[in-house]
Structures are given as structure tokens and as C-alpha cells.
């Protein structure tokens, strides 16, 4: 079905270690992303039974060469010199229809040399969550890994309790992380580090090869992509949950979703992850954490850069500091789109800051607020105005904000700005309680709610009755306030 290549496996061990999947008892296909498969070059799709055997790891896919990737990482600020793919296998790389090299990886396929005593398996819940959220992010145009397949294993996985097991297949531009560079640096083998950096330049940032200092140019490129990525997360209220350096993609994609969730009632300090007790990775902390992770990446590249001594450190520091301006520029663009303002509007930042304050103080749902504001901008009727004001506990304060905004707002008179506003403000997100409903039903053997939710979150601007039903914010009794990683 897919024709695999194996460029990453040419790098020295321990960056890649050949490993076979551990067969599961009774694999059954939950979902298969046929459009993505065709995008990856698949011409014929086999039957569901064959797909279940391949994407569980029970049978090797033709031309695949499974291997686990080594990496290190700062986990909640504490450095661990060896982590690695403890439950994942890279099957190989494919060249997609656009000529881009992309990884295909099994997740939950059994123990590897990096399992550190773990079982190498995944519960069903995290597989379904990553499938739903990553495909929503792709539909929103936010750089992300993709979901290719999900398979039940017919086995139980013990975490907080015994749960159904599953295997997830994801596609990424690559699975190379900041932690991969930390792992290479920890080997104290400059040739190994250089081989990894050169691989990344060829694969992701070929323009850096012609720079005066290719490794400084590599750092600049990774910083730029991460700045854009985090700004886009923030624009839809996404909270990653575990922004460790081993979960920070060198390619600038969202990776390792784990206990992620989307903010509903606006709160800058919102955390969902059950393991983030100190709120290190709270919503408003994500830009600073990304910058911190990039500083750790810069440290690994210092031995390869041309400058020396204090000048070298200053040069790298200047690049890391540039993250803030790059992030701010992308955020300002997104703010203008979300508010329906002209791209050059000097009011975008202060109006967004004031609205976020209103959302926080008025206990407003973030997605519902911007959706209602979009409807009001495109059709400024009393009905749409009242629908917006109904979202806040402080309608008089929001009314005053609306008057200021309307003096600046131009979306209703400007078709391109109207389109930009709509495309920046989804009708639906994968709300935590809806994701949990789909997971709970699946644990009872019913995957219909999962497929229904998947169909609507991959069309995030859908105005259908079903989309509107699933887009509704959680009631007080429906709220799911904690998410779990599943490792």
C-alpha cells in the first residue's frame, strides 16, 4: 500500500534501534484515514482485516523496517538523559504526493529497548483523543502530526485501571524532537550530533545549508516555526498539557498530544493535565515554555556553530530572544483575523486584550464567544447581539467593548476580512466532554459517537444541526476537568 524509504535509519545507533512490534491478541480496525493514505501515495487500500493486521503490528507492512528512536528530554524541567520511543515504532518514511518525506509510526505496538520497564502499550482512550484532536488541528491548518489508523488490540492495558488496548498510527514530517538533539549531545559524540543536524537540514530546512553558519540558520528556522505554531495553538485555546523538550518537534508540528484539551471558559491559567500540578504548562505559559525549550535546543547546537566563546553564546541568545517578536507578529495577525479587523489595525492587540479580560471576568466560553462575534460581525442583527451578550455574566461591560470594537470593525464591509474572520473562528472544537463521551462509549464497544464527532470536528466551520449540538459548551454537570496521558 505504501512504499517505504529509510533515510533516518542510516543515522548511527542509538538514534535509531531496529525493533519489532509485539503482536496483539485480536486486532480490529476502528478507523482508517483513506484520504491521508492517498495523499501519502497509496494507490490501493486493502480490506479491513489486512489493515488491522498491519496497523496493529501483527504483520509487517511490505518494505517497512520498524525501529525505535532514541531521545532525551527535560520533563517538567528535570533532565532525563535517555527516554526514547518506549511504545512506538517508526515503520519508515514515504514520499507524499507533494514530494515531502513523512514518517509513519505505530504507537502502542509493544516494548522497545527504550521502554524502561513499561509495557509498550496504549489504552484506547488516548488513541481516540489523539485521533480526534490531531485531525481537528489539521482541518484548522495548524501544523500537526496526522492520524492514519486506529486499531483495538483485543487486550487489556493496566493504568489507573484495566482498560481496552489500542494501537495508533500517526504520520509526521518527522519524529525528531528537541529531545533528540539533547540525546545526541548527551552521547558526547560531536560526529553523531553533526550527522543528526545535517539530516534535519537536508530534510526540513535545506535553505540553511547555504548559510554562512548552517547550524545557526537551523536554529533560526526552528525558532521561527515554533513561534508560529504556539501562536496558532493560543488562537483556538489549545492546551498541550506536557510541553517537555521531548514533545517539541524540530519540524514545527504539534506532536504527542497526551493529556491535551481545549479551553472552554476563558482562564489564562487553565490546566487540564492530571500530572501538571504546578501549572507549568498552563495556557498562558505556553509561549515562554516553548522559548525555554528552544534555548535547550540552542545549547545542543553550540559545538557545531562557527563562533566561539562569549560571541557564540550571545549569537545563540539573540536568536532565542527573537522568538518573542516572531510569536507576537503571528499572534497579532491572528488577533486581527479573529476580530474581523484590518491586518494593519493598531487596535487589534488592545481590543483582544480587553476581550480576553471580558471573557475571563464574565466567565465566557472562548470558542462560543468568537463564533457568536463572527455571526454578529457578518450580520449585525439584534438577535446575534443578544446571543453574544447571553454568553457573559457582565453584559454591560461587554456592551461597552462592542461599541469600541464596532468603531474599528470592517469585516461586514470587506469580503476578504469576513472570510478571514470565519476561518479563524471555528464553530466547533473537540470539547473535552464530547471527547470523553466518545471514549466512554467506545469502552462499551460503541464507536458510533467517535465517528460522529470525528466527522464534525474535521469540518470545523460546519453549521449543521449535528455540528451545533456537538459544539455546545459543557454544562456544569458535563465538565471534564482532568485529562490523562496514557503512558
Residue 246 known to be catalytic: yes
Contact 164, 157 (CB under 8 A): yes
Given the residues 85, 119, 246, 337, select the one marked as catalytic.
246
SS3 230: helix
CA-to-CA distance for 249 and 204, rounded, in angstroms?
11
- Strand ranges inside 78-209, DSSP E: 78-80, 88-95, 101-107, 122-123, 146-158, 162-172
Residues 6+ positions from 23 with CB-CB distance below 8 Å: 56, 57, 58, 110
Provide Rg for the chain, Cα atoms. Answer: 23
Closest to 409 measured CA to CA, from 369, 375, 377: 377
CA-to-CA distance for 2 and 78, rounded, in angstroms?
39
φ/ψ of residue 479, rounded to 5: -60, 135
Q: CA angle 165-175-102, nearest 5°?
A: 100
Contact 421, 337 (CB under 8 A): yes
Contact 343, 410 (CB under 8 A): no
- Strand ranges inside 341-463, DSSP E: none
Contact 37, 75 (CB under 8 A): no
Grid coordinates in use for 445?
Answer: 464497544
CA-to-CA distance for 78 and 195, rounded, in angstroms?
26
CA-to-CA distance for 223 and 133, rounded, in angstroms?
24
Grid coordinates in use for 73?
Answer: 528530554
The stretches of 308-410 forming alpha helices (DSSP H) are 309-339, 348-361, 366-378, 382-389, 395-408
Catalytic residue list: 246
Amino acid at each position: 500500500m505504501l512504499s517505504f524509504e529509510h533515510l533516518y535509519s542510516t543515522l548511527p545507533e542509538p538514534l535509531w534501534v531496529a525493533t519489532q512490534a509485539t503482536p496483539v491478541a485480536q486486532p480490529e480496525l476502528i478507523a482508517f484515514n483513506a484520504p491521508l493514505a492517498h495523499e501519502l501515495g497509496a494507490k490501493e487500500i486493502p480490506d479491513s482485516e489486512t489493515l488491522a493486521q498491519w496497523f496493529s503490528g501483527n504483520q509487517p507492512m511490505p518494505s517497512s523496517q520498524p525501529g525505535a528512536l532514541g531521545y532525551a528530554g527535560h520533563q517538567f524541567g528535570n533532565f532525563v538523559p535517555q527516554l526514547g520511543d518506549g511504545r512506538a515504532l517508526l515503520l519508515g518514511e514515504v514520499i507524499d504526493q507533494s514530494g515531502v518525506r513523512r514518517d509513519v509510526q505505530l504507537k502502542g505496538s509493544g516494548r522497545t529497548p527504550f521502554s524502561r520497564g513499561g509495557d509498550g502499550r496504549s489504552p484506547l482512550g488516548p488513541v481516540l483523543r489523539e485521533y480526534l484532536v490531531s485531525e481537528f488541528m489539521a482541518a484548522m491548518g495548524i501544523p500537526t502530526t496526522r492520524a492514519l489508523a486506529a486499531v483495538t488490540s483485543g487486550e487489556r492495558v493496566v493504568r489507573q485501571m484495566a482498560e481496552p488496548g489500542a494501537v495508533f498510527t500517526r504520520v509526521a514530517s518527522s519524529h525528531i524532537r528537541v529531545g533528540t538533539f539533547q540525546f545526541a549531545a548527551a552521547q558526547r559524540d560531536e560526529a553523531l550530533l553533526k550527522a543528526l543536524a545535517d539530516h534535519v537540514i537536508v530534510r526540513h530546512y535545506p535553505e540553511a545549508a547555504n548559510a554562512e553558519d548552517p547550524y545557526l540558520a537551523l536554529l533560526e528556522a526552528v525558532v521561527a516555526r515554533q513561534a508560529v505554531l504556539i501562536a496558532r495553538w493560543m488562537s483556538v485555546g489549545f492546551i498541550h498539557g506536557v510541553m517537555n523538550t521531548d514533545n517539541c518537534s524540530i519540524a514545527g508540528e504539534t506532536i504527542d498530544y497526551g493529556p491535551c484539551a481545549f479551553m472552554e471558559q476563558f482562564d489564562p491559567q487553565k490546566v487540564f493535565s492530571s500530572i501538571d500540578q504546578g501549572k507549568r504548562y498552563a495556557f498562558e505559559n505556553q509561549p515562554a515554555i516553548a522559548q525555554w525549550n528552544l534555548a535547550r535546543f540552542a545549547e545542543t547546537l553550540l559545538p557545531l556553530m562557527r563562533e566561539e566563546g562569549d560571541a557564540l553564546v550571545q549569537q545563540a541568545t539573540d536568536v532565542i530572544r527573537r522568538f518573542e517578536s516572531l510569536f507576537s507578529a503571528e499572534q497579532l495577525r491572528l488577533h486581527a483575523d479573529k476580530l474581523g479587523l484590518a491586518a494593519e489595525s493598531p487596535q487589534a492587540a488592545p481590543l483582544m486584550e480587553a476581550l480576553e479580560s471580558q471573557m475571563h471576568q464574565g466567565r465566557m466560553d472562548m470558542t462560543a464567544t468568537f463564533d457568536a462575534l463572527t455571526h454578529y460581525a457578518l450580520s449585525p442583527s439584534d438577535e446575534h447581539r443578544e446571543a453574544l451578550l447571553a454568553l457573559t455574566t457582565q453584559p454591560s461591560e461587554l456592551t461597552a467593548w462592542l461599541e469600541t470594537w464596532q468603531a474599528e470593525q470592517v469585516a461586514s464591509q470587506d469580503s476578504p476580512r469576513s472570510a478571514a474572520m470565519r476561518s479563524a473562528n471555528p464553530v466547533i472544537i473537540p470539547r473535552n466532554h464530547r471527547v470523553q463521551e466518545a471514549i466512554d462509549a467506545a469502552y462499551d464497544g460503541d464507536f458510533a459517537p467517535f465517528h460522529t464527532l470525528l466527522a464534525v470536528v474535521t469540518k470545523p466551520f460546519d453549521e449543521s444541526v449535528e455540528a451545533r449540538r456537538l459544539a455546545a459548551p459543557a454544562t456544569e454537570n458535563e465538565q471534564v476537568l482532568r485529562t490523562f496521558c496514557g503512558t
